[in-house]
Structure 1
């Protein structure tokens, strides 16, 4: 009220306070309901977000048990000399538990070429007076270098090394001096028997830097031939064109780094990775139990005091909403069911030793109160005797994790059940905002109306007061009015 501070100035009555009290009462009536509804909607939106987040966290923990992730193998390597690496290895989920003695006889290597002694006296020597082309080939790979008239040995080195088509040829120049002079040295990264680097040309002037001449004789000599890697695995000889042996032992990849010392071989042990499985299953259980706690918090009812009337604790932001409890009920059904595609003796969480307790949480119990075997006993036995069946139960195409993932996706995906609920709440919040704006306009109009009416009343009362004062003044001026007569 822009002029409300002056209201009542004419009549002297507290009309300003009267209008303020009326406006405040009307504002409380209108905004009380609106603000309460907004607080409820905001809490519901936050609660839905927390539910979605908790479901996602459980889904992420479950994903660590999907596919072949529970079948991972542990690889242990005993090197011949501590502190030095001779071999490395990885094993796929289908590798058999095994142990091998490994001897590295020879590493795979590429070939190495050198130009003839005294062919060049410095890196600035010109290699050709006319244009030509050099072709570099190793195995199935090849690239060309164009040589221009007047190109020096150093310019050739740079052009080879800078070529975008170079498959792994490294050119160097050694300035030995004396009778050796300057040498061009070419090293190829293509390993394996029969993959020697071959250099050919179309200009006899380039024969000095070729292994296949166009003229009389070649100037490049092979000083190191490409060769295979050779290992002995429990005495069985195996070769590879590279230093990596893939499936030389089925489902195991072996990389050799250096020759093993005579009489001192490396040892490779492949076993099941129980510790990782334990960690991931424990994380799965913990994440589900955190989801249970979150839903309990979101759906809890208000608590009352001893008198049964006084509210001593607020309820959860989704109390009365059936969605969270419906989700948990369906999840418990999935977790308690027999799992399709599993082995007969490992087809449920119970067979693995995991059960739901009275609080609706997953646990591996140590109690034998209701069974001859505890959950912990069944869990340990499964790890020792039925390891791959655990991974099958969780990770096959129709396994537990696939079922959980499909179920949670229906709620958390874009356009899913939770997204639709969020959209509905956001629409209600938008409507609540419109209602608040409309209420503000109404209060402003109501205030102006009261101000106008009470300003008129103020003027009327002031006029009446002036009239009264005038009448009183006139009466008091009459002879003998208000004056005591003398006896």
Structure 2
């Protein structure tokens, strides 16, 4: 630690100023060099981070274009009737192209069973005095519910709704004011899949669709409450299904019936190649490529600290090489697809001959040939960029190198600080001795002068 003292207090000399000037002469040049070195490294680190960011965005855009599904994807668009949505549609790449008029004649629904009139006065009526079980079934589904002795209508409602094995039966009680009606609803749809409720205790006949001894139970299903199929018409051709979801009625498409059509209304379904998806992905690629080029031009531009940087120069050249390569069996280039480059090296979606939009409309297979596939532009761009931004890529390695240099600068600052502290201690020790010596000499001189001034005939020269 530096000595704490007020140098020059005894001698009157400006020793503090001498120590400060000596330390600054030693410290300032070295500190300035470290500041400049750190500044250059921080600028370089920021530039590497920006390059990695813009190139990662370009790689992400290229990855999406390299997917084979992009160019083969189909898109279903539906114009609904004025009464509201009657269907929803999803299509895969195997979907058949075409236009269809679709109406919903009937929705699929499950069945509903209702207890007989006057069977129960209220929800607290006791149903059984002895324990037993109810078995619910619909279609291929079933579950059995054990009922405790002395259960009320409300107890049974709760037991049905809370059963872990329940496949989709809901129990409700409607209090009419004069009686309680028990209702069982099944979510298993499809003609012939009506709910059945059987028991092993005749006391449960009133809440079963089939009596314990045979014949009808107290729960009945009205004609309007029976389970039904969904029925749709596609260009006048009827299709049925036990649920509201129709798969491959139109090849490669899934149609979901939402509500029944009113009068003769139809939904207009159009299935075509998803050109909007292709355009969106290519637009994103063009934007990402131009963003990378603009960033590299600025980072390595005139008067920038990385002007002439080898990494920036190589990146720009390699990006251009990938972009201007030939692809596909016909050896086509990007410029055959309506693209061009401006004077700054940025990609444009048109050239003097044609435009990307025209090619997308008239020859989408050419786009897939150039952009898609294992050896297409997108795949090559992805692989090339991975060498820079991937794990262990050159930009990551350069970032590590810069951070190591910054660590060394920090160590040098600490070393400089320790050297200056040591030097200050040495200087203060030396000047402290000088201050003491000069102070002593001054004291002795003053004492001699005082003695001489007291001698007879001594005259002090005040000039």
Show structure 2 runs of 5+ residues with no match.
none
Structure 1 SS opposite 2:143: strand
Quote how far apart the aligned CAs of 1:476 are: 6.5
- Distance in structure 1 (CA, Å) of the matches to 2:114 and 2:375: 61
Alpha-carbon distance change, 161 to 395 in structure 1, aligned in 2, over 3 angstroms: farther
Quote how far apart the aligned CAs of 1:15 are: 2.0
What do residues 305-332 of structure 1 show as CA deviations (whole Å, max 9, x unaligned)? xxxxxxxxxx23x445422333333222
- Checking the alignment, whether the CA contact within 8 Å between 1:343 and 1:393 is kept in structure 2 is no
Aligned residues: 456
Alpha-carbon distance change, 392 to 129 in structure 1, aligned in 2, over 3 angstroms: farther
Quote how far apart the aligned CAs of 1:20 are: 0.8
- Distance in structure 1 (CA, Å) of the matches to 2:264 and 2:390: 60
Map 1:382-421; keep pairs closer than 5 Å.
Answer: 382-391=359-368, 393-421=370-398
Quote how far apart the aligned CAs of 1:444 are: 0.6
Match of 1:245 in 2: 246
Quote how far apart the aligned CAs of 1:437 are: 0.8
Quote how far apart the aligned CAs of 1:100 are: 0.7
What do residues 6-62 of structure 1 show as CA deviations (whole Å, max 9, x unaligned)? 222322222221111111111113322222222222222222211111112223333
Match of 2:181 in 1: 183
Show structure 1 runs of 5+ residues with no match.
303-314
CA RMSD of aligned residues (A): 2.8
Structure 1 SS opposite 2:130: coil
Match of 2:343 in 1: 358
Map 1:82-97; keep pairs closer than 5 Å.
Answer: 82-97=82-97
Quote how far apart the aligned CAs of 1:66 are: 4.3
What do residues 150-175 of structure 1 show as CA deviations (whole Å, max 9, x unaligned)? 11111111221222332221212233
Quote how far apart the aligned CAs of 1:270 are: 2.1
Residue among 399, 415, 431 paired with 1:438: 415
Q: TM-score if structure 2 supplies the norm length?
A: 0.89
Residue among 449, 465, 474 paired with 2:426: 449
What do residues 269-290 of structure 1 show as CA deviations (whole Å, max 9, x unaligned)? 2234434433432232122111
Match of 1:349 in 2: 334
Quote how far apart the aligned CAs of 1:417 are: 3.0
- Distance in structure 2 (CA, Å) of the matches to 1:190 and 1:388: 45
Structure 2 SS opposite 1:249: coil
What do residues 183-233 of structure 1 show as CA deviations (whole Å, max 9, x unaligned)? 322111111233222222222222222234332332222323222211221
Quote how far apart the aligned CAs of 1:429 are: 1.6
Match of 1:221 in 2: 220
- Distance in structure 2 (CA, Å) of the matches to 1:36 and 1:47: 17
Report whether the alignment pairs 1:206 with 2:191. no
**Please, which moves more after superposition, 406-415 or 195-204?**
406-415
Q: TM-score if structure 1 supplies the norm length?
A: 0.85
- Distance in structure 2 (CA, Å) of the matches to 1:69 and 1:185: 50
